[in-house]
Amino acid sequence: MIVVVAPGQGSQKPGVLAPWLADARVRSHVASWSELIGIDLAEHGTNSDAETIRDTALAQPLIVAAGLITAEALLADGRRSRVGGVAGHSVGEFTAAAIAGILEPTDALRLVTERGRAMADAAATESTGMSAVLGGDVATLPAILAERGLAPANFNGGGQTVVAGPTDALAAFAAEPPEKTRVLPLSVAGAFHTSYMASAVDRVRPVAAAVTANDPTLPIWTNADGTRIDSGRRFVDLMVGQIANPVHWDAVMTSFLESDVTGVIELAPAGALVGLAKRAMRGVPTVGITTPDDLPAAVALLDQAEASA
């Protein structure tokens, strides 16, 4: 079984849409989406620099747009039927929800745009950020973080945990990291998936409640605890609540292994999730899609899975 995964914030890259915009259909989608959400996705996906798209309000819809474009190309010509399931990391859950049929792509983009703006506003009230902790003992980390005024935000598996909190506390933590760990700052502008985002949850919840949520037509796993969710409305509710709660991507990958996943394809902007899969799902083939040139390898993985089924 092949699963398709969609990356989260921090995966954004300058020029991420540029190679895809050579396709007239993609240009049409991007133009209509840009008008819908009031953000020039083509401009920010081609010409904006890394610091500009670090802005949460821009990064989130840009990442989802890139994922939707990639998914349409990957799953064309009946290939959607070869996919065994889908999941997204953090904001990537909006991409996954659209692929699974829970949300219309336009609703996913409208909702994630409101999420990005709400989280940006919440982040603006205090100087906070996030850092990746590589190595160490994950079990003892929460207690250490509490002593340092920080909190776990993403349990990513593969020896990686993302922590969040005030920027001064993050700097002190990096200067004196726990034993056998490395601490790397991330390109995000807030303490996402922590209590610092409570106001964003309150703002997004009524918007999400007004969106039509269909039950999924593909298996989909939640970041909340890694379980498969069969109710579209519950999946959307979990996405909203998770704005202020940790991502458990480690649990998602455990569910993949328990479900006999035989390959992982990561949508653009790819890299982070296939990297985690290579460490936590050893021996499972992975393909990351960054440009249209990566599509043949991803299609080949789907073809191999169908041939062996």
DSSP string of 121-177?
HHHTTS-EEEEEEEES-TTTHHHHHHHHT-EEEEEEETTEEEEEEEHHHHHHHHHSP
Tokens of 142: 């929460």
Residues marked active site are found at 90, 193
Residue 217 has pLDDT above 90, yes or no: yes
Number of helices (H) and strands (E), helices first, in the chain? 13, 9
Q: What pLDDT was estimated at residue 48? A: 97
- Total residues belonging to the chain: 309
Distance CA 85, CA 245 (A): 24
CA-based R_g, the chain, Å:
18
First-last CA distance in the chain: 8
Residue 306 has pLDDT above 90, yes or no: no
pTM reported for the whole predicted model: 0.95
Looking up tokens 């299609």, which residue turns up?
299
pLDDT digits (tens, 9 = 90+) for 66-116: 999 999 999 999 999 999 999 999 999 999 999 999 999 999 999 999 999
Amino acid occupying residue 308: S
> In the predicted model, what is the mean pLDDT of the chain?
95
Residue 8's closest CA among 241, 273, 193?
A: 273
Residue 237's closest CA among 65, 86, 71, 103?
A: 103
Q: What pLDDT was estimated at residue 308? A: 65
pLDDT digits (tens, 9 = 90+) for 229-241: 999 999 999 999 9
- Answer for the pair 106, 114: CB distance below 8 angstroms, yes or no: no
Residue 309 has pLDDT above 80, yes or no: no
Residue 256 has pLDDT above 80, yes or no: yes
Residue 284 has pLDDT above 80, yes or no: yes
Residue 129's closest CA among 174, 167, 90?
A: 167
- With cut-offs at 50, 70 and 90, classify the pLDDT of residue 188: confident
Contacts (Cβ under 8 Å, ≥6 apart) of 260: 1
Domains, the chain: 2-123+194-308 (3.40.366.10), 128-185 (3.30.70.250)
Q: What pLDDT was estimated at residue 159? A: 86
Amino acid occupying residue 84: G
264, β-bridge pairs: 3, 286
Distance of CA 128 to the CA centre of its chain: 20
- With cut-offs at 50, 70 and 90, classify the pLDDT of residue 59: very high
